[in-house]
Copies of this chain bind each other. A is one copy, B any other.
Amino acid sequence: MTMPDVLKNDRFLRALRREPTDTTPIWVMRQAGRYLPEYRATRGRAGSFMGLAQNPEYACEVTLQPLDRFDLDAAILFSDILTIPDAMGLGLSFAQGEGPQFARPVRSAADIARLAVPDMDGELRYVMDAMRLIRRELHGRVPLIGFSGSPWTLACYMVEGRGSRDFATLKAMCWNEPKLAHQLLATLAQSVAAYLIAQAAAGAQALMIFDTWGGLLGPAPFREFSLRYMAQIVAALQSDPASRELPVILFSKGAGSHLAEMADTGCAGLGVDWTIDLADARVAVAGRVALQGNLDPAILRASPDVIRREARVVLDSYGNHPGHVFNLGHGITPEVDPDNVKVLVDEVHAYGRTLRA
């Protein structure tokens, strides 16, 4: 594809390279989401969540919606973290208020042996079509982020078949049949690498891996079953011409004690949840990577004055150093008033300038 657009705002990419910026860039996890009435309208027309995600025009529309409202410094592909297992034939659906479910969860060695890396020009072509369309429609306003769930997090849902408090079914497999678990995770790591490389080829300008459930593991199992496969993916991305220039962000929720090891993967940035001070996180990674975070999403339900104050607390905690991308510590929730997001974005930019002055 052609890449005609010069980026008009490269704060986000500069921060990921730990270069100076005029102010702190910000985007918001799940910024295209149910808290926006225009999102709910498009979602209504699409009929279902997967109908929305699998239609490139709709996906493009909702990706751009938050950029029209807020002065955000990055766009992120509208999609779901579970597109890969869906493309593997597991049958993803979202029952009303229930979260994701798979019609055909992975339960046996035969189930795992049957799994193959999906065709990026086949079952997952709709993702690449959406990426190309969004990139074109962005006209270089801000960089476009591609993403995937991590192998561990995908496996959690694939083996459990749905959301869970502890994903004990996959954990039991890790302990009782570790070879089987590793076979599953290796297939997923290959799939995620291919998926992110294809997203890069389709126009993504940064890549993020969401390891939503890595924090459910103790330190040694985290290394063995989650981090190891994210490291494989980062290495694969860095050796492919389509993706090797792109910064990669890893985000393991609840894994604040593993930041140094995660930085060892060679990623450009780490997402940080709100249970750790950014000042401590900076010490942990010793300037080797950028940090992205980490306002408690619940603060967006507070008043504008509190939102501004707490945004400044996060900015001060990181301090006047390069390499900070402001974000929430987890996805924005549906009850948030969109006006509060504007308050946050504007305060981050204003105070980020003050901090540098």
Report how far A276 CA is from B296 CA in the complex, Å: 22
CB distance from A97 to the nearest CB of B (A): 13
Nearest CB to that of A170 among chain B residues?
B298
Report how far A215 CA is from B301 CA in the complex, Å: 19
Is A351 in the interface zone, CB < 8 Å from B?
no
Nearest CB to that of A172 among chain B residues?
B301
A215-B275, A218-B275, A275-B218 are contacts. A257–B254 as well, Cβ < 8 Å? no
CB within 8 Å of B: which A215-271 residues: 215-221, 254, 256-257
CB distance from A305 to the nearest CB of B (A): 9
Is A299 in the interface zone, CB < 8 Å from B?
yes
Measured between beta carbons, the chain B residues less than 8 angstroms from A303 are 175-176
Report how far A328 CA is from B217 CA in the complex, Å: 14
A168-B333, A275-B218 are contacts. A302–B175 as well, Cβ < 8 Å? yes
Is A312 in the interface zone, CB < 8 Å from B?
no
Is A335 in the interface zone, CB < 8 Å from B?
yes
A275 pairs with B217, CB closer than 8 A: yes
Report how far A302 CA is from B301 CA in the complex, Å: 41
A218 pairs with B168, CB closer than 8 A: no
CB distance from A197 to the nearest CB of B (A): 32
A166 pairs with B298, CB closer than 8 A: yes
Report how far A138 CA is from B298 CA in the complex, Å: 46
Report how far A175 CA is from B217 CA in the complex, Å: 31
Is A310 in the interface zone, CB < 8 Å from B?
yes
Report how far A103 CA is from B5 CA in the complex, Å: 58
Query: How many chain A residues touch B (Cβ–Cβ < 8 Å)?
Result: 34
Is A347 in the interface zone, CB < 8 Å from B?
no
Is A126 in the interface zone, CB < 8 Å from B?
no
Q: Which of B172, B254, B256 contacts A302 (CB 8 A)?
A: B172
Measured between beta carbons, the chain B residues less than 8 angstroms from A299 are 171, 175
A275 pairs with B301, CB closer than 8 A: no
Measured between beta carbons, the chain B residues less than 8 angstroms from A168 are 297-298, 301, 333, 335
Report how far A298 CA is from B218 CA in the complex, Å: 11
B276 pairs with A172, CB closer than 8 A: no
Q: Which of B172, B254, B277, B313 contacts A298 (CB 8 A)?
A: B172
Measured between beta carbons, the chain B residues less than 8 angstroms from A176 are 302-303, 306
CB within 8 Å of B: which A152-180 residues: 166, 168, 171-172, 175-176
Measured between beta carbons, the chain B residues less than 8 angstroms from A254 are 254, 275
Which residues does A use to contact B, with CB under 8 Å? Answer: 166, 168, 171-172, 175-176, 215-221, 254, 256-257, 274-277, 280, 296-299, 301-303, 306, 310, 313, 329, 333, 335
